[in-house]
Structure 1
């Protein structure tokens, strides 16, 4: 099969261990794009964290952000669509999270019209929330303020915990409130609107182009990539992937530190 669309996770997949796009990976991606193949980023990142990836690639692809909740056109810096958790659902999820995981901090991701829309506070966290990444850009507010408006994603954070354990504890209590996933095992759970995933986000990009799942090759490394790996005609897990992601994939390539994505693309584009 010659893929008509490439969908790839960013961290741990497209980027190497130094959070860079290697020259080999860039060359393979650019060769595919030059041949007319669509290329889509599918990431847990918010739109405001897409610019460095665009710079590293050398072109501005469509981006499925917030694990499928947001469709972002990086070429025009426009949020094309956003699916949100309502205030009612956020409030219910917050009650569940703080009851089931005592001491957990909560945060929400919101989007405006562009990646850096100053009119919309984008990452709000409750007092004492400990960021799971090295580049925190959250604004600390009261829990009431965190929950006062719809959000594309709720983050539940417990420093020192394992995300897999948190997901297992929360799953029986969340019900129809949203879908749980995680992209790191560093004590962080992400909740998106029910039925939303990277698969639904990529499908939102593909359908208007007349591209079906069978025409897609997808790459990922963590549980939040599993729906996309299962949906795509060819789902490829990285050699460094979480065991559950590997089990969901059609094949496993080499790690992100060894140009695993490029090695697969080079079958069709050299």
Structure 2
């Protein structure tokens, strides 16, 4: 099985932003096709919401109605098959205390909760391109009144270092968290990660974790890279991600995912 992160792994970052180009290079497309044709299960694993991942599956040509693809979304909290979208597994948690703790220190922060099929409920609009789908203005209290699978907290005025320190300082008991490339914090149920979502897929497919190749570039990929039989960090990944991996490939701008897959499924 091949587990692939999306942004910064399959898709190239847009310089100076937290968004990526929705384009697959020919090298990456061909490498994915070769792996699939050789019999490997190709699984997308991302922090994106489910609705933000189906278009990438379409770009790669991964799925058909007769053979839907497995997808791990929301940093492992949601596992689904596509097409059509069929949620197979979902983890939720009570996010009220963690959100309140973060907002006490960053009262100006933006908060988002997925509204499946539409986009996100947000307390204020996020920068253009950072969220997929519609942004539905809501009060924070109503957004987290019921258990949720994931909460995004974003402060455009802060730095990634601010959020790394914040998460470590607060502890966020009962909640797991991942800090992104910017001042972006993903809150999730305890024990939920891309690795836990991929374990669900492995059980369904009868694949051992030792037979998984995982490729990613972000802090939310660390559990996946250490769990997989072979975890590979993209060349532009921060040092803590590179240290968690078994190997480091080329950067996303140099088609690092294709370079790694071509080791096993050459052209």
TM above 0.5, yes or no, is: yes
* Aligned partner (choices 78, 84, 97) of residue 76 of structure 1: 84
1:177 and 2:174 equivalent?
yes
> How far is 1:242 from its partner?
1.9
Report the counterpart of residue 109 of structure 1 in structure 2: 114
Distance change (3 Å), C-alpha of 1:165 and 1:250: same
- 1:154 is aligned to 2:151: yes
Which among 40, 46, 49 is matched to residue 46 of structure 1? 49
Regions of 4+ moved over 3 Å: 128-136
Q: Does the 8 Å CA contact 1:101/1:166 hold for their aligned counterparts?
A: no
Normalising by structure 1, we get a TM-score of 0.87
Q: 1:110 to 1:152 in 2, by over 3 A?
A: farther
Q: Does 1:243 align with 2:239?
A: yes
Contact 1:182 1:223 in 2 (8 A): yes
How far 1:19 moved relative to its partner?
3.3
> Matched residues in 2 for 1:133 and 1:167: separation?
23
Deviations 1:126-178 (A, max 9, x none): 2x353474556321112222122221111111112123421321333244321
* Count of aligned pairs between the two proteins: 253
Matched residue SS, 1:267: helix
Q: Deviations over 1:169-220 (max 9, x none)?
A: 13332443211103322x2101010000001111110123221221111000
SS in 2 for 1:14: coil
Alignment partner of 1:194 is 2:199: no
1:100 is matched with which residue? 105
Question: Structure 1 unaligned runs (5+)?
Answer: none
Compute the displacement of 1:20 (Å): 1.6
Alpha-carbon distance in 1 for matches of 2:251, 2:23: 14
Cα 1:33–1:230 change in 2 (3 A) is same
Matched, 1:62 2:62: no
Equivalent residue of 1:13, what SS? coil
